[in-house]
Every structure is written in C-alpha cells, then in structure tokens.
A and B are shown apart, each in its own frame.
Chain A
C-alpha cells in the first residue's frame, strides 16, 4: 500500500510522516478484541484448573495483548516512530489505571466505612464520658488543626527562606551541605522525630511533658524538607530572563525575589506546602509520644495533652471495647474527616494561589 493511494485527501497528505494512519476507532477495536481474548483465556484456564474465573487475570492478559497488538499493527501501518508512540501511550495510560486501582480501593474503603458515623454528634461532641457508642471528635479536629497550624508556622517560613537561600544566594560548601542534609532530613523516621521532640521539651519542662506544641515541633522536622525541596524546585524553574529583566530595571535583589521570583513560583510553592501539610497531618507515631492522649477538649497548644485525629483513629482501632464496631466506625470516620480537612485546605490553597499569582499566563 503506497502513501498516495491509502491516505485520505487531507492537507498533510503529501507529508510522508502522516502517510498511513490508524483510524480513530482502531485502538478501541483492539482493546475490545484483547479483552475478549483475555476473558476467554482466563475462563479456559479457570475451567481447566477448576478455580474461579479471575477478572484480574483477564484484564492483565488483555492489557499485554493490546500492547503487543497495537505496536505490531502500528508498526505495519504507521511505521516505527508512531508505533513507539502508541506503545508509550498504552504504557502510560496503563500505569495510570494501575495506580488508580489501589487508590480508588483505599478511598472507597474509607468513605464506605466512614459514612457510618458521619453525623452531627461526631462534629459537636468530644469523647469525654463517652463509653461504647456515640461520641465525637471535636477535640481531635481542633487538636489536629492547632498542631498542624503551629507546625506550618514553624516550617513554612524556615523552609521557604532556606529554598530562597539555596536558589538565589547559596554557593559553595554551606549550600551544598544544606541541600544534602535537607535530603537526609526526609529520612528521619517519624517516631524518631517524636522522641527527639520529647527529649527536647523534657529538657525545659521536665519529664513527662505533653503539649501540642511538642507535636508541632516534631511535625515541622518532618515537614521542613518537603517544603524546602518543593520550593527549591519551583524557584529553579523560574526563568532567569525574569530575574535579569528585573535587575536590568534596577530593582534590588530582595525585591526581585519578593516581587518577581516568588509570585511566579507561587502556585508551585503553595502546592508544595499543601503537600507538606498533607504529609504530616496524618502522622501518628510522633504525636502518640509527645502530644499525648486525652478525651477532653484542649485549646492550648502550650499546655496539656492534646488529641489529634490520626492518634484518635489509631487508638480506636487498637483498643476497642466490647462494642468494637462503634470504635471501628469512629476510626474510619475520623480518617474521612482528616481527608476532608485536607481537601478544604487544598481548596483554600488553590484560591490563594490563584488570587496572588501574576496575571499573565505562561
């Protein structure tokens, strides 16, 4: 089949690169055929070995078949380069779908199990004097918000300024050392962060100290590297042209950073910070150690035990009473509430990013 006869009479017809093309429905047809074969093979195997029909196996077989088929067909009709493109498209979409499976399973598990106690009492009560069923997590919601807020107050400025130092000022040993050790910091196990925070506060406040602020310090240890790393990447991506243009206009360096570099990178920085908050808001181990455990409301991060949502969920799962379903329901709903809180933070962050970002598009 030669290019001139098979190609539809379109503008690019003369271009040999688009000479042969699979029709739009081609890949879909292949998917259908592959699925049918996969199901058939799986059913045959199931019948032969007497096991149940496995959807997972059918889909896997179909996927591999499709990849092979689309590559071969495309190779024949469209040539090698297009074939590679088709293959990669298949692989990328496959990766995405593969990742969706556990993620969807996880989220649906949380939502289905969490719906059980998603009621008004859950948001207006604490666990004070609650035995068995009922009760709420208001104390844990407040605790989580306060501890995370303080962690953010500590780590966001430190993180962003460090990133600014690394990208805009840092040369030589110090900046190399900071870059390196920030990466090392990501590897501090959360429980060690908690132990460290406890040891630190025990120095000042005596043994057995429990306070929300200690949890915030532990969390900021975990949060700072994420903030630094993501901010650093975003600042690096700000085109140098912008900085040079600003310098050329005689704007001082600090103003250039504050008014040109940071706003340009803001959307990315906000994403990074949100991600960092998301990363630590669900931490359990350090808060178990330093923030403590209580069934009562506590608004003061500087004094007394403070409950948080992850600790609450963990505790409800670990030591339930006889009516264990009530405890497990509370655990799942607490997890759901945590996810909703992060969702809300995300929305707020996006609005902030949109409002402050420079008007011109990319």
Chain B
C-alpha cells in the first residue's frame, strides 16, 4: 500500500512539475501586466482569422511581424481552406478571412456575423503568387509549352513525353520516350480553379470541361493531396508533371508559358505584372477590390497563371476593438514591409504600388 501511494504521488508530482516548468521561453511572461515591454503600441487583444491555406505561410510571417511590433496582440490564422474560412467569416466565427475567391453575389446577399447589419465586407487582394507547372524528367530543366499542349497533357490527350506537340516547341531538348504521369490536386483547391481557368481561357478546344475545383474522373491522371502532396508525387515519381504554388517548385523542372509570341518562365515580377494588366470586376460595391484576372493577356513579360488570395474584412464591425485590430493588421499586410515579409517566407509576389494605394483606401473605410 505504501508503494502505491508513493507511486501515485510520484506521478502527480511529475505531471505537476512538467506543467509548472512549461512556460514558453519565447512568450511574454504575463500578458496583462507587461505593457512596459511594448511602449510604442497601445493595441491589445485577440484577433482570429481563417481561410485559404495558400496564404498560410505568408500569414505566419505577417502575424510574426505584427505581433513583434505589438506585444500585447494575439493573432491566429487557421489555414483551414478558403471555403471553410468564408463560412466561418459569414457565421461570425472569425473577424477576417483569407480566400482564393472573392465573395460571390449569393454570399453578399446574405448576412455577416461580425459586421454591422446591412454593411458589406470588402475583398482585398493582398496575396499574389504564381502557379508553376513542375515536372520531373531526367536531364530536362525547363520546357516551353503553349496552353493547348498543357491542356492536352492534363486532359490525357497527350500521353508521351516525345509527343510531337511538346517536341515542336522545344527544339534541341532530348525528350524521353516515356509515358507522362500527370499529377493533379485530389482535394478541392483554389490552385486547381486558377489553373483550369487559365486553360479554359487559352485553350478552350483542348480543355472542354471548363473551370472547376474538383478534378473530373474523365481527365484521368493521378491525384495528390495539397501542394505538398503534388510536389512529393512529382519529385518521387519519374516522368511526372504537375502544378503547384511556385514557391515550392524547388529543384524540379518548370514550364515557361507561351504569352503572345514568347515563352515566359514564372517569376514574382511576371506574376505581379499579370495582375496589374488585369481589370477589376465591374459592379462591385464600394471599397471592394475584386480582380478579373486576364488569363489571355499578351502583355510583355506577364505570367498569367497566377493565384490571387483575398483578405476579407467587414467595413463596419460590431465590436470596435476588433475593427481597430483588423484595420491595423491589414494595413501592415498591405504595407511594403508586410508584403516583403510575406514574399520572404512564402515566395509570393509583392503587390504593386498602384494596387497598394487602392487597398489602403479601402482599409481606411474599416471602422
């Protein structure tokens, strides 16, 4: 009996010691009383966001940058997915959302939990990233392709690497006589939507299924979950091709897209140029900045296969403290410093000064 008591005490003591000693070395010790350590900032409180996983890495950098300047603020961003993020924002679960698509008319006709009744939230394009077409063929680093060829590969029409359609655009490149394994996203994603939108706009004949989020079984190919899954599948397989966020292209071969008369490899600048060449969606409400991406642009040096992710926020919050936090946080994201921080950690393309001016004007409306 003595032993059992001793054992129990030991377990409890061990557990207690573990909990007590577990103050994080990098966190402010007492959140409420440590105002002195952050003399410049008067902001405090918790701010929660959720949404697109595409901007997860960028949000991480933004949150770190903002919290460093404002010690008493806690921001969380749950990269649960665009759909989940918009649903949570609409339900009022989070104060801002990240989304690969702007709010559609149906959603705008409804109500928004965190916003003052009868006010509309705004979409702000704060994250721009090129989508790279990546492949793994021994001895080949880059290829030139037009949209029709890409559409042929991903719809299962072009099945061999030495197909005439590919070879004709890549003289001097030795292509193997091997079957193409085309890898697509098996989960629903904004990346797939942007990719198929590009193909549907540029190669409507070869790409008959149009724009979609869920890959149709008729197009065949192999599915992999998430950007990481596609990158892994392409890397570990042989003679594979896939599409993924450009920051993850790594050492894999990449495709230069035919834009106008020339072939443009992806770069952050080329992606930003494509966004600048695109008009805004017409008929949106005041402050809203929804970009109508021009996938067929022939602009010099533009790379039209880009993904835009929006920050969605109310223009009028029920809770004034939340409004203040969102406003400050979004201002930081849109700032030059914020965009650079995002680009450093996530490989995104910083927004242009023009777009920044527009976004800043919209952020001013938030109250």
The answer, yes or no, to whether B330 is at the interface (CB within 8 Å) is no
Within 8 A of A (CB), among B156-170: none
Known: A129-B68, A130-B26, A208-B93. A292 touches B76 (CB 8 A): yes
List 9 A-B pairs, minimum CB-CB distance, nearest first.
Answer: A208-B93, A319-B56, A207-B91, A321-B57, A293-B78, A321-B345, A129-B64, A124-B25, A126-B24
| Residue A246 at the chain B interface, CB threshold 8 Å | no
Q: Can you name 7 A-B residue pairings with CB atoms under 8 Å?
A: A207-B113, A293-B78, A297-B24, A304-B46, A318-B228, A322-B344, A352-B7
The answer, among B11, B26, B77, B113, for a CB contact under 8 Å with A129, is B26
**Nearest CB of chain B from residue A114's CB, rounded to whole Å:** 17
Q: Name B27's contact: one of A296, A304, A317 (CB within 8 Å).
A: A296
- Produce 1/0 per residue, B327-345, CB < 8 A to A: 0000000000000010011
Q: Is A14 an interface residue (CB 8 A)?
A: no
Known interface pairs A129-B67, A207-B92, A293-B79. Does A138 touch B57 (Cβ–Cβ under 8 Å)? no
Residue in contact with B76 in the complex, picked from A207, A293, A324, CB distance below 8 Å: A293
> Is B36's beta carbon under 8 Å from chain A?
no
Residue of A nearest to B3 (CB): A355
B362 at interface, CB cutoff 8 A: no
B244-278: CB near A (< 8 Å → 1, else 0) gives 00011010000000000000000000000000000
Q: Could you tell me the distance between the alpha carbons of A292 and B93 in the complex, rounded to whole angstroms?
A: 12
Contacts of A161 in B (CB 8 A): none
Collect the chain B residues with CB atoms within 8 Å of residue A138's CB: 22, 24
CB-based contact A317/B228 at 8 Å: yes
Could you tell me which residues of chain A, from 64 to 88, have a CB within 8 Å of some CB in chain B? none
Tell which of B11, B48, B250 touches A348, judged by Cβ atoms closer than 8 Å: B11
Q: Does A209 contact B (CB under 8 A)?
A: yes
Residue of A nearest to B74 (CB): A296
The A150-190 residues at the B interface (CB cut-off 8 A) are none
In contact, B53 and A318 (Cβ under 8 angstroms): yes
The interface of chain A, by Cβ under 8 A from chain B, is 121, 124-126, 128-132, 136, 138-139, 141-142, 206-210, 288-289, 292-297, 299, 304-305, 315, 317-324, 348, 351-352, 355-356
| B60–A128 CB distance below 8 A | no
A355 contacts which chain B residues (CB < 8 A)?
3-4, 7
Roughly how many angstroms separate A351 CA and B9 CA in the complex, as a whole number? 13
CB closest chain-B residue, reference A125: B26
Most chain B CB atoms below 10 A, which of A132, A288, A320, A324: A320
Which residue of chain B lies nearest to A318 when distances are taken between CB atoms in the complex?
Answer: B226
Interface residue? B61 (CB, 8 A): yes
Partner of B26, one of A128, A142, A319, A322: A128
Chain A's closest residue to B92 (CB) is A207
A352 cross-chain contacts in B, Cβ below 8 A:
7, 11
Does B359 lie at the interface of the complex (its beta carbon under 8 Å from any beta carbon of A)? Answer: no
Once A296-B74, A321-B57, A322-B247 are accepted as A-B contacts, the answer to whether A209 and B93 lie under 8 Å apart by CB is yes
Q: Which of B60, B250, B347 sits near A131, CB closer than 8 Å? A: B60
Inter-chain contact A315/B76, CB cutoff 8 Å: no
Write the nearest CB–CB distance from B238 to chain A, whole angstroms.
15
How far is it, in angstroms, between the C-alpha of A330 and the C-alpha of B218 when the chains are bound? 38
Q: How distant is the Cα of A28 from the Cα of B11 in the complex, in angstroms? A: 47
In the complex, whether B355 has a CB less than 8 A from a CB of chain A is: no
Instruction: Output the least CB separation between B236 and chain A (Å).
Output: 14
Shortest Cβ distance from residue B247 to the other chain A in the assembled complex, whole angstroms: 6
Q: Are A305 and B48 in contact (CB under 8 A)?
A: yes
CB neighbours of B351 from chain A (8 A): none
Answer whether A126 and B57 are a contact pair too, CB < 8 Å, given A207-B92, A296-B74, A321-B345.
no
Q: Which residues of A contact B3 (CB under 8 A)?
A: 355
Contact, CB under 8 Å: A295 / B76: yes
Chain A residues, CB < 8 A from B201: none
User: Once the chains bind, are B76 and A294 in contact (CB under 8 Å)?
Assistant: yes
Are B346 and A321 in contact, CB atoms less than 8 angstroms apart?
yes
Q: Is the beta-carbon distance between A126 and B64 smaller than 8 angstroms? A: no
Task: Provide the bound-state CA to CA distance between A84 and B94, in Å.
Answer: 66
Residue of B nearest to A141 (CB): B22
Task: Identify B345's interface contact among A139, A209, A322, CB under 8 A.
Answer: A322
CB distance from B286 to the nearest CB of A (A): 27
Across the interface, name the chain A residue whose C-beta is closest to B247: A322
